[in-house]
Structures are given as structure tokens and as C-alpha cells.
Chains A and B, each alone.
Chain A
């Protein structure tokens, strides 16, 4: 009763109804039992913590400790921008851990959707670089609202063979008419608008003033016709840079590091006006259904193994001081990093928390500019 035989029988019209029903039943039983076969006796996925994060952080390399302890990876849910993530959680999406950046912390805590992290429950808490925890609005007594995890820059990744640099690297590359239609940008205002502020020469302390809005909007409008695509999907930008569809794009550290690892001639610029710098970290939802495992997620991400991967493969800074001991000074400089985060963060323009009104107004205006108005 092999498969070929049955097909032959059908063709010759000899297949009996009973035989046909039997094969159907066999197929049905087979399908129904697939989920039960070959599964190891482990905790079911629904018992694992849910981690709501940016694309690219949903990989096993960051969760070695978690996997060793709990048998499986946490569940992942992905967002493209942190504002989108916040709206989704405000709409009732409950997760265990999410991944905002320093600029968003006071606004995120103000929603009342999060609980501060008890640092005594994290085994790697003592290794966290202290200055990364001292962020505006982050302390809640001894607890932290956001446990710092990664830090880095928003800058320009450009093709060294396709972009001519005269003098110093500058944000002007992304405003250069010569490359019109071959430039890319991150789509979220949380990056692009702040870069506009750097380009327009607006101090971050005054970013929420009508004059600043006017100046930045003018700069963004000037840039818009040159941009091929605004996207929060870094893969799109990376592929476009790799193929030469784009010659330069606004990206985070990881895009440049990944492209270089694949052998593409790219550089992560250190613009003379200064890059945009930030610290991102992990926040726990107030109704986290798996609180213990939420702490496991954070602890695993703070581990040295995770840090090594973050630094080496993504080119981001890590919050665990010990992660940097695995690299020599030269490698770190090559990646645009330093054991002392302040060197990098203060050399650029560090993002500052703003009000929700600013955020909504800025996003509304930026989206209009992106649409061509």
C-alpha cells in the first residue's frame, strides 16, 4: 500500500472507497500527531517569558544563560520602533520584558505599565557599568526602571567605494544632492528627527521649542527628495547598501558591522557634527506573567557571552564591563567602541527625554514631511 500504488489505483479507477477512506484517515492521524512527535520533555513555550524587542535581538546568541536554565528560548515579539511598541502595550498587549531607550524611559514609566527592576535579583548587576545606570528618570530608589543593556550610535553607514569624502566625514552626506535617490534613512522620528536637530545645529536642550521645530522641519524637508526609502527595517537598508542601490544610509552600529563582516566596503562614519548616541535597556511589564523568567531574560542578556556577541557581531556597546575585557583596545577602536562608554556617548549628542506632547507633535510633523508635505 505505498503511495505510488494508490495513485496508480486512482488512475485506473480501481481505488475502492474503503481504501481511499483508510488512506485519508492515515493522513489525518499523521497530521494530527505531528505536534506530539519529537518534542523533548521541556517547559512549553507558553511558560517562557515574552520579550518584546527590536528586530535582530530575537536570536539564540543573546540567550545562552536563559536557555541553559529554562531549556528553551524566550518567546519573541518584534517591533520596528519603540513608539509603536508603547502604543501596542498601551492597547493591552502584555509582555514580560521590553526594550526601550534612555530617551523614552520617563514617558514609558509615566504610563504606569511597567515595574522597576529589583537589581538584587540580577546576578550580573554588580558588573554593569555604573554610569549607564545613571540616566535621567531611571532611578526608583535602589531599583532601576530600565536595566541598561546596549548602547551605541546612530550615524551614517556609507560605501567607501561610492562616496567621495572631502575632508572630514559629515552628516552632509545624507543631504548631498549628488547622491539623490541613493540615500536611505531610518523611518522613526526617534532617530531621524534628532539627527535633523544635529544637522540644523539645534541643541538638544532646546529641541522642544517652536524655533527648533521650524529649523529641524526645514532641514528634513530639504533632505526628503533625496531619500529613496525611509524604513525601520535595517535589513532593507543593509541589502540596499550591499547592492549599491544606496550609497549611504542612516543606521545604527550593527548595520555597518554586519556589512563589513560580509566583506562589503562600508564605513560607519564619525561625523564631525557628532553622531546621535543612546543607551537602550530592558523594562519589565507591571503584569509580567512570568516575572522570574523576566529576570532570567535580563540576566542572560547582561552576561559576558551575550556581551561578546553584541560587541563582536553587532558592534554595539554592552553594559557589562567584563564583556570588554575579551577585546583588545585596537579591536574596540576599530568597532568605534570604548571600554569607557562616556568616551563615545559624550563625544556624540546624547538623547534627552522629552514630553509625550513633544513626541506626538514631532512624529506627526515628521510623518507629514516623509509624505512630502
Chain B
């Protein structure tokens, strides 16, 4: 206490009583916008360095062309033209969207009952249930994908089980190295990202609405489709977004489990930066994928809006 007093006294004696402010501080005080930007600045710096600059490089590079080990830096849209002309790019893009579309549907269908159960039928230790559901996701993504290789493999768990049960004579070969394998694995890998948003939106539903529906004569099924499902739609839409966007560009799952027919656009982009050695082409494909996903995202958002208006 004494120490503090001394310092305070010293300061009072040494400094003039009027607080001096810098010019900048003054501006900061007056302008609310400036204060906002000042608060945002750490994030803005990170965003600029981490996203805006690399994105600008990506766009610039996509307009170059590769020659041997170097680049021809005259700007041209040749890469985009090639991407549109050659069927392989469009086909892989399309396949990626179909695979991740199915994976999204499968994930949401799988997670909905789980989230529903926790939201409506678990009354004690809800948090523990949620944590338990995310437990498998504490292992690395790569390891989980690899585990599926073991499960789906020729001598894998499923095939051995079916053989043992006498249901099949020879191992099912379509299980591994196929688009199905990619869909199954993606659905499992991303399930936690679907459970949580769906759970939150189910949890928020006002229980009295359900009671009212029952009082007015709705059976459990009708009640689910008229009250619960529509009210949990925000969660379902968020989950679909969260899964669809990252899985479209997934690389490791198709690389390990896809086989020749399960290759996706992410693998093709990697190849451009690897053995094919055509970075500009890779850059334009990456941008193409972004545009494609944004377009689908916009369509999705528009549909959501229509849906919401109908609900209201």
C-alpha cells in the first residue's frame, strides 16, 4: 500500500495535471468506425497475410502458363479454357460434388437420430453424451481413414464377417477402392460436425409446441414432421454446409480408398502441383472448385430463404 501511494504522489508531482493525448488517440476517441477497425486489426492482419495475399497469388498464378520448370508470366485464360474443354476436369468436378453430396446426405441421416436422442431422451449428463459422441474424433483424420481401409478391405472386417457367416462365397470387392468406400468413410469422418449443430437446434425447440401438437391430435410421426423437423432445419442446413464444403475438396480419403474410379478433384489438383508439374493449371482448378462450391452454396441459401418464407 505504501509503495503505491509513493508512486502515485511522485506521478502527481512530476506530470502536469492535464492528461495529454496523442493525435491518433484523439481520433480513436472520436470515430467509432476507426475504433472498430482498431479492434479488428489483429484479425485483419492475419486475414490479409493468411487469406487475401495467398488468394491473390493463386489468382495470378492461374493466369500464367507452365513451361518446363518455369512459368510464362503473360496473363492468359488458357488454363481455364483447357479446364472447360477437356472432359476430365469437368467430370472429376462433377464426381466430387456427387460423392460429397451423398456423403452429406448420409452423414445428416446418421447424425439426426443420435442428436435427437440426446436432445429429447437424455436428461442427465447431456454434456457427457456429447463428448462421448465426439470421442472417435479425437484420433487423427488420417488414422480414421486408414482404419476404414482395414474395415472395408479384401480381408477386412466386413468381408471376413460375411464370409464367416456364410453369406458370401468370395470377398466383396466393391467395398474398397470405389466411390462407395469414399462415401462411407466421409460419412463417418464428418459425423461429429453434423451432430453438434443438429443437437443445438433440436435442444432449442420449445417443448410446449410439441405438447400443443399432441393436444391438437397429432400422432408422434405427424408431430415430428410438422414441428420437430421444420424447427430443426437450421441445424440440418448448417450441418450440410459444414460437411459438403470441405468434403468436396477432400484429398486423403479418395487417395487411400477411392481407387481409379473414386478419384476426386482434390487429387487432380494435388497432381498438378506434384508429378504433372503444372502449378498454373492446379491454381485454376482450385479457383474453379471454389466458384463451383460458391455457386452451389448460393443456390442452397436461396432455397433456405424460400423455405423460411414458406414457414413464416
Contact = CB atoms under 8 A, between A and B. Distances in A.
Size bin of chain A's contact surface? 20 to 34
B162 to A, nearest CB: 15
Interface in A70-90: 81, 83-84, 87, 90
A364 B261 contact: no
Interface string A227-238: 111100000000
B275 A188 contact: yes
A360 B273 CA distance: 11
B259 A363 contact: no
Contacts of B276: 360, 363-364, 367
A372 B261 contact: yes
Interface in B93-112: none
Interface stretch (B11-19, B84-92, B237-245): B84-92
Given A83-B277, A188-B275, A360 B66 contact: yes
A360 B65 CA distance: 13
Contacts of A355: 68
Interface string B59-93: 00000001111000000000000000011100110
Contact of B260 (A81, A90, A224, A364): A224
A356 B278 CA distance: 11
Q: How large is the interface on B (under 10, 10 to 19, 20 to 34, 35 or more residues)?
A: 20 to 34
Nearest to B70: A356
Contacts of A111: 69
B192 interface: no
Contacts of A265: none
Contacts of B271: 363, 367
A370 interface: yes
Nearest to A187: B275
Residues of A contacting B: mostly: helix
A228 B173 CA distance: 9
Given A228-B177, A356-B69, A368 B277 contact: no
Given A245-B154, A370-B263, A229 B177 contact: yes
Contacts of A83: 274-275, 277
Interface in A245-259: 245
Contacts of A188: 275
B274 A84 contact: yes
Contacts of A243: 154-155
A262 B110 CA distance: 42
A371 B254 CA distance: 12
B68 A87 contact: no
B88 A368 contact: yes
B69 A90 contact: yes
Contact of B275 (A87, A240, A372): A87
A340 to B, nearest CB: 33
A356 B69 CA distance: 7
In this complex, which of B92, B177, B268, B275 has the most chain A Cβ atoms within 10 angstroms of its Cβ? Answer: B275
A87 B271 CA distance: 11
A371 B264 CA distance: 9
B259 A359 contact: no
A55 interface: no
Interface in B212-265: 259-261, 263
A289 interface: no
B268 A371 contact: yes
A232 to B, nearest CB: 10
A229 B260 contact: yes
Contacts of B277: 83, 87, 356, 359-360, 363
A367 B261 contact: no
A181 interface: yes
Nearest to A355: B68
A357 interface: yes
A360 B155 contact: no
B88 A245 contact: no
Contacts of B68: 355-357, 360
Contacts of B66: 360
A230 B260 contact: yes
A82 B268 CA distance: 18
Interface in A317-373: 355-357, 359-360, 363-364, 367-368, 370-373
B278 A240 contact: no
Given A87-B277, A228-B177, A245-B155, A371 B69 contact: no
B310 to A, nearest CB: 42
A148 interface: no
A307 interface: no
B181 to A, nearest CB: 11
A371 B260 contact: yes
What are the 4 closest A-B residue pairs judged by CB atoms, nearest first?
A: A245-B154, A83-B275, A373-B88, A356-B68
12 contacts: A81-B275, A84-B275, A110-B69, A229-B259, A245-B153, A356-B68, A359-B277, A363-B271, A363-B275, A368-B88, A372-B88, A373-B87
Interface of B: 66-69, 86-88, 91-92, 153-155, 171, 173, 177, 259-261, 263, 268, 271, 273-278
Given A83-B275, A372-B91, 10 more contacts: A83-B274, A84-B274, A87-B273, A243-B154, A359-B277, A363-B275, A363-B276, A367-B275, A370-B263, A371-B268
